[in-house]
Amino acid sequence: MSRNLIIAANWKLNKGPADAAAFLDAFCVVAKDFKGTADIVLAPSFLTIPSVVTKLDGCDRIAVASQNVSEQESGAFTGEVSTCMLKEVGVQYVILGHSERRSIYGESDALINAKVKKTLAAGLKPIFCIGETLAEREGGKLESVLTTQITDGLKDVADLSDVVIAYEPVWAIGTGVTASAEQAQDTHKFVRSVIANLYGQSAADAVRIQYGGSVKPANAAELLGQPDIDGALVGGAALEAESFFGILENS
Ligand code: PEP
């Protein structure tokens, strides 16, 4: 089964509207003759999203994601942003369950599950992140941790067609340490087998599983060349147009 690659930039708490505009100007220059077919996604901060959507007007190649969303619809939830608001300003994907949301902001599998369902109900596409810590991997808990994250995070989600999974080993995020292509492939294959158990083989064959964790132009080709790796979620190397394009070029 062939799955189209999806390469996403997670800008985290970086780039206000001016920096994002400068990135897009530079990106258009380096990417103008790009013939690749990968889906390209940019995830700016909430505040920067409208200016990025406006700047991308007419450029269907690049979709916009948010880095989070509320599980609530509306009301007295100070500081939150809803799926309706994101849809209104042109967002298509929502990153959910990122390890920084899990570890710094204490997001549980149950909360992430509520957000995944809210996102899907709004017609948006979750980029659902999972991943183990180094202690969990070294303690032989890799498979149980990922199985729980998947089972609880996708509880009562009947259809995976609009879901992208991002496998991001926590020890590789922002550390410069990348999982080897073999480690990443083995884990992606395992994740796909968990999906096959829960949703059947054809859903498992169709679902896209991105790898995230210190992806850069120098390691992108090897990682993206693995049979079960269907793209990348990129943090640090997506902050500069040239290096983000270098990853796309290697896709
Ligand atoms: C991320 O934050 O999702 C990520 C993968 O970051 P980095 O590429 O910097 O490791």
Give mean pLDDT in consecutive 10-residue pieces for the chain, a chain of 251 residues. Answer: 93 98 92 89 98 89 96 98 98 98 98 98 98 96 98 98 98 90 97 98 98 96 97 98 95 87
In a domain, 116, yes or no: yes
Range of the domain at 133: 6-249
pTM for this model (two decimals): 0.97
Per the domain annotation, does 90 fall within a domain?
A: yes
Query: What is the residue with the minimal CA distance to atom 2 of ligand 1?
Result: 235
Is residue 39, in this structure, part of any structural domain at all? yes
Total domain count, the chain = 1
| Ligand 1: nearest atom to the Cα of 176 | 10
Kindly report the CATH number assigned to the domain that includes residue 131: 3.20.20.70
In a domain, 76, yes or no: yes
Q: Is 1 among the domain residues?
A: no
In a domain, 62, yes or no: yes
12 annotated as belonging to a binding site for a ligand: yes
Would the annotation count 139 as a binding residue?
no
* DSSP SS3 for 79: coil
Residue 1, pLDDT score? 67
Active site residues: 98, 168
Q: pLDDT (tens digit, 9 = 90+) per residue, 9-52?
A: 999 999 999 999 999 999 988 888 888 999 999 999 999 999 99
